[in-house]
Structure 1
Amino acid sequence: MIPTRPLLALILTFIIAGQGLFVAGARATAQSSLSDAARVARVESQLENLRQELKIPALSAAIVKDQKVLWAKGFGFADVENKVPATEHTPYHLASLTKTFASTILMQLVQEGKIKLDDPVSKYGITLESEGVIRVRHLLSHTSEGNPGESYRYNGNRFGELDKVIQRATGKSFGELLIANILDPLDMTETAPNVFRIVGTKSPSGTDPAAEAEVKAAVMDLIAGFNAGSVDQIERRLAPQQNRFPGEGGFLTSFIDASELRGAFQSGFKLNFRVDNLETAVYGTTAVSTFFMSGTITPSNGIPRADGPWRSSLFWNKQDGAWKLVHSHQSAMNRAMITEKHQQRFDTVSKSLAQPYALDREFKTRKSSYPQGFSTSAGLMSSVLDMAKYDIAIDQNKFLAREIQQLAFTSTVSTKGEALPYGLGWFTQNYKGTKMLWHYGYWTANSSFILKVPERNITFIVMANTDNLSRPTDLGGGDALSSPVGMAFLKTFIFPEKFGEPIPEINWNASAQELKDQLQQVSGKPYADVYSKDLITKFRINQSVGQATEAARVMKMYGELFSKPFPEDLAKMPVVAQLVKVLDNEDKTMEFTLTRAQQVRIFSIGEGQAGEMFDYGWIENANKGTSVWEMQEKETTHAGGAAKNRKVDVVITLEPGKYKLRYKTDDSHSFDRWNALPPEINFWGIAVYAK
């Protein structure tokens, strides 16, 4: 742990972490005088509490201040079964924090003039569905879907297509440049790509090594024939009936037409491929060889382009004393090419990697497994101390000129002129004048978070070996304040100075009335909105660990404390009929009669999504039993809170007669029994007003 805490800090931790109704004056005095060591102690206490609450086996965190590691520590067990404690050196999977590294590499290529942000991605062999031209900046900023540049939609798969941009622009993989440009120069020995041996053929025991050498020589002879443009050399290595699986790419076609290939070479067509990780298994007179292949293709127009990497599998027969190719299969790799250096790093880092865990259906922590693969989108593994090295290097402009780095740190502006929550590989957020640069990771059995506050020259880094650091949040929506660990850091290191006073703690386990009393004391403060975010986070945490009853209590409290008032104009209108505060599994009816034709205003809030309503109201003709009006999802607007909260506010004309007002709910998400954020108005049901 860095550094050792003094006794005073430990005492302050005990005092500050205590629960109960806060006394604003007493806590203000204590917190405003906290040193860095005391603040660290407070964050330590909160992180450990959150780790236990979120049922995370291991968590490691670090704080970098003024380009130095202020503090770093591990919590819990990296390996529960073997009681291996987590430390600041424990590597974790980073998931999407990998995107920040991809941003650095890509912006280096922009700086070097090897790519342009406005290059169409089709230039790099990328084909994606779109309503317009997708450019490199659109993939980097998650704005490639629909009309490119118009809106933000986080999409890790599309971001991963940037592998191809790097490969074709440089002839090298993202992983190769990552190691050469970042990991090796910074001595990040606790960081590695998440790779696995997909080229791992091994001969049966007792196989003659000379036979393996012969097959490897045949592979290299075949590739050399293509690189030399020698059809005769290629044909010597082909069996009479060679073929391959149909599919993308590859350097062979089914039943090569020698005359056609010779004509292509004569017209200027050239290949320059290299082979990596060649391995061979021999089974008597048959053999298989696997390897990675990449390089350049020069068409007859003389303009070379990068190609690959491909995963190649070749199958051989020994005929007339020579190895002949009988079958081949090449598949495009949608992730960075794995080299032996990647594998060596992986083997070293994986020995101390935190073990993966997940919550089962009963919300008990069980051993899990990590996802495999590595790309510009995800797949890097690292420790908080190595991430601290990376963060310091960014701030020292070791990778990029300042203006290029700031370009990555600037919010993307949509084609409609709206500031979006993402820059180029980083989330960017402005909270009441304070700029925050951040990213999160969220994948199977792992989660992570990095938050930079440039004006304070401070960074917070945290990693975990379950997904629950990120699952109960709205980080994908662009709000860093939805992270419970992020909020713990901000309220301790950033907000006291920003708002000129300490941020009082709230006892969320208090009764509704006690909470109202606490919140009343801070209702006029500029940071009052922090508490509504805290309560939402509390709800999400309860949901994520299976505490449904407590989650419902918290959301009921949220509705009482933070709902907007009922629309004043509606409150003044005469009520014709209403069905309100409707609960789960209810089918309510209320009759009403109109003596004349008149306009009525219908106000209803319910649950719906994807064109379907689950909690909704309608009006029936009581005599005929037919519907005269019904709430339909396509005609609703968002009612605030969860996206599925839908609202309708319309005026219709009803003829004189008897009517039934109806409202029906399903088995979840109803008044004061919310399973997601409630609507902004504490209302669930339908009401009809006389105009």
Structure 2
Amino acid sequence: MKLISRLAILLLLAYSCSSEKEQKFNSVDNFSSELKELKEYFQIPGMAVLVQKEGETLYEDYLGYSETATQSQLDASTTFPIASLTKIFSGLMIMKLAEEGKLKPEDPIKKYIPEAEIDDSIQIKHVLSHTSQGDIGKHFYYSSRFGWLTKVIEKASGMSFAEYAETLILSPLEMQNSFLLKDSLQLAQKDIKMARPYMLDDGIQDGFIDYGYSSSAGMVSTVKDLAVLDRAMDANTIISEASRDKMFSAFKELPYGYGIFHQEFNDLNLIWGYGQYDCYSSLFLKVPSKKITLILLANNNLMSDPARLIYGDALSSLFVMSFLKNFVFEIEDMPLLETEASLAENKSITSDFYREKLLAQALAESFMARFDTGKVQSSARLLEKTFSLFPDYKTYADISLMHNLSFLKDVAFFMELGDFNVFDEQLETIGNALLSEDPDNPYLHTYLGTFYDRKGDLEKAKPHFEHIVNNANFSRNWYTAEAEGWLRGQQ
């Protein structure tokens, strides 16, 4: 009997291990397949990907070309400019300086940049958490003011920004393929292998490199080096556990911590960042409770731009949704991209995940409609499906959905497709509801102002554009220029 029991236990363990391995490979295979599907969908020339779980590489791949003309393949040594993922490095530097007593997050920025015209009440923590604009410390608006932290880091550390990054992070972690990009001469002198930049216009076109660096952007790296950084953060090698937890925590329940995004979904904390230049994009996503991390780098900007990650919602990204679907929630039977046929079949799925996936694809379709106007209708079908299955849209509507609704009207307007009024009721209702919670939001004012302008209701449009121009505690941006232009046109 004892022998039979031992055999039963061994067989059960073997089955369990086999089942776990099968699940692992299914997740990897499904994710790999969907990643290739997204690469083709967004016409990305080259992508590098690494998924690590509990510090071990679960999946690593290099898809497509470092240079399309020569069809040079990407490999592990190919570097990419990571744009705003540089902010993670800056966050670590600020937290370390705070640990050492060389600065306090509550210090006024003015203390470190006395010559600048900066409100005395704006503190380091406000800039680090993107809460320095509008009503200070109350709302999240992703801001170029993050670059102010360059001088803060330099004065507090007594080193140049590049020297401190090298001393604190790059050298100790032996991140040999990571560096701050100063100019083209630097690339030529060091014979650095970097993925060439591309942009999507009339097909895939040659792009350009953004040179220069600050606390906001400028780091160049590889997925392997960023995986090293990820493991170091988990091991508290750079900063203490308390500092890391503070860095990763939401600032006043807003979507950003100290140098990195924080988001909750289905009882999970998502810690993430993204980078977006005109010709490069990057993504870094941690799910701490699952001890798993995704790192993606690409040599055009379509891994980031279509998802409007600037608004603070990682779920707007189809790349994120694929990762979560396969490695976190293990939903194998749900396709990533819906078709007319699958939309017709899925008549009663009402999970939050399915809703967010529909919205992510609808947002992507609206972006890609500028290259294929047929996607206006495919985005609309996805939105109609969403509103049908989840009719109380005010409970889940956010600025990403507002952008989607507004952008469809933009494409129809500029492509001369005629009026697109299908979702006017939702656009107006959602816009006003969101503004009641966030009255200074310049994106919402732009969307509503443009909406009323094209309706011919100039009296309703005008206050939205005036609010953007008259709000003193906002740095200039594209929406400022648009608002000023509209108001001048009414004189």
- What TM-score, normalized to structure 2? 0.75
The question of whether the paired residues in 1 share the 8 Å contact of 2:358 and 2:382 is answered with no
Aligned to 1:189: 176
Secondary structure in 2 aligned to 1:60?
strand
Mean CA deviation greater in 609-618 or 71-80: 609-618
Pair 1:479 & 2:313 matched: yes
Aligned to 1:559: 384
Query: Structure 1 residue 536: deviation in Å?
Result: 2.0
Aligned to 1:460: 294
The RMSD of aligned alpha carbons is: 3.1
Aligned to 1:359: 200
Aligned to 1:529: 355
Query: Structure 1 residue 196: deviation in Å?
Result: 1.8
* In structure 2, distance between residues paired with 1:527 and 1:608: 27
What letter corresponds to residue 248 of structure 2 in structure 1?
F
Secondary structure in 2 aligned to 1:632?
helix
> Identity over aligned residues, as a percent?
29
In the superposition, relative to structure 1, how do residues 126 and 516 fare at CA in structure 2: closer, same or farther (>3 Å)?
farther
The question of whether the paired residues in 2 share the 8 Å contact of 1:473 and 1:540 is answered with no
The question of whether the paired residues in 1 share the 8 Å contact of 2:315 and 2:357 is answered with no
Query: Structure 1 residue 490: deviation in Å?
Result: 0.6
Unpaired runs of 5+ residues, structure 1, are 1-30, 199-342, 414-418, 568-581, 589-602, 619-629, 637-691
Aligned to 1:374: 213
Query: Structure 1 residue 617: deviation in Å?
Result: 7.0
Mean CA deviation greater in 46-55 or 533-542: 533-542
Query: Structure 1 residue 447: deviation in Å?
Result: 0.3
String of CA shifts for 1:461-484, please: whole Å, max 9, x gaps: 000011111110031111111111
What letter corresponds to residue 157 of structure 2 in structure 1?
T
What letter corresponds to residue 460 of structure 2 in structure 1?
Q
Q: Equivalent residues in 2 for 1:141-220 (5 A)?
A: 141-155=129-143, 157-196=144-183
The counterpart of 2:35, out of the listed 37, 47, 50, is: 47
What letter corresponds to residue 54 of structure 1 in structure 2?
F
* In structure 2, distance between residues paired with 1:182 and 1:39: 32
In the superposition, relative to structure 1, how do residues 518 and 186 fare at CA in structure 2: closer, same or farther (>3 Å)?
same
Query: Structure 1 residue 505: deviation in Å?
Result: 1.9
* In structure 1, distance between residues paired with 2:237 and 2:304: 30
* In structure 2, distance between residues paired with 1:392 and 1:367: 35
In the superposition, relative to structure 1, how do residues 560 and 67 fare at CA in structure 2: closer, same or farther (>3 Å)?
closer
* In structure 2, distance between residues paired with 1:197 and 1:354: 14
Q: Equivalent residues in 2 for 1:213-362 (5 A)?
A: 343=186, 347-348=189-190, 351-360=192-201, 362=202
Aligned to 1:94: 82
Pair 1:387 & 2:226 matched: yes
Secondary structure in 2 aligned to 1:107?
helix
Aligned to 1:120: 108
String of CA shifts for 1:57-100, please: whole Å, max 9, x gaps: 11000011101222211000001112210123311010000000
The counterpart of 2:373, out of the listed 539, 548, 551, is: 548
Query: Structure 1 residue 534: deviation in Å?
Result: 3.7
The question of whether the paired residues in 2 share the 8 Å contact of 1:94 and 1:463 is answered with yes
* In structure 2, distance between residues paired with 1:459 and 1:373: 28
Q: Equivalent residues in 2 for 1:673-688 (5 A)?
A: none
* In structure 1, distance between residues paired with 2:275 and 2:374: 29
* Structure with the higher strand share, 1 or 2: 1
Aligned to 2:345: 517
Q: Equivalent residues in 2 for 1:5-24 (5 A)?
A: none
Aligned to 2:69: 81
What letter corresponds to residue 254 of structure 2 in structure 1?
L
The question of whether the paired residues in 2 share the 8 Å contact of 1:130 and 1:146 is answered with no
Secondary structure in 2 aligned to 1:515?
helix
* In structure 2, distance between residues paired with 1:78 and 1:586: 41
The question of whether the paired residues in 1 share the 8 Å contact of 2:365 and 2:376 is answered with yes
In the superposition, relative to structure 1, how do residues 120 and 366 fare at CA in structure 2: closer, same or farther (>3 Å)?
same
Pair 1:110 & 2:93 matched: no
The question of whether the paired residues in 1 share the 8 Å contact of 2:359 and 2:386 is answered with no
Query: Structure 1 residue 432: deviation in Å?
Result: 1.7
String of CA shifts for 1:130-186, please: whole Å, max 9, x gaps: 66611111110111112321211101x211111101111122012101111111111
In the superposition, relative to structure 1, how do residues 480 and 32 fare at CA in structure 2: closer, same or farther (>3 Å)?
farther
Mean CA deviation greater in 110-119 or 122-131: 122-131
The question of whether the paired residues in 2 share the 8 Å contact of 1:612 and 1:632 is answered with no
The counterpart of 2:267, out of the listed 402, 423, 433, is: 433
Query: Structure 1 residue 41: deviation in Å?
Result: 1.9
Secondary structure in 2 aligned to 1:59?
strand
Aligned to 2:326: 492
Query: Structure 1 residue 438: deviation in Å?
Result: 0.2
Aligned to 1:259: none
The question of whether the paired residues in 1 share the 8 Å contact of 2:318 and 2:361 is answered with no
* In structure 1, distance between residues paired with 2:125 and 2:115: 15
* In structure 1, distance between residues paired with 2:41 and 2:114: 44
Query: Structure 1 residue 372: deviation in Å?
Result: 0.8
* In structure 2, distance between residues paired with 1:566 and 1:93: 41
> Structure 1 runs of 4+ off > 4 angstroms?
126-132, 563-567, 582-588, 603-608
Secondary structure in 2 aligned to 1:75?
strand
Aligned to 1:688: none
Q: How many residues align?
A: 405
Mean CA deviation greater in 68-77 or 459-468: 68-77
The question of whether the paired residues in 2 share the 8 Å contact of 1:118 and 1:135 is answered with yes
* In structure 2, distance between residues paired with 1:59 and 1:611: 36
The question of whether the paired residues in 2 share the 8 Å contact of 1:473 and 1:537 is answered with yes
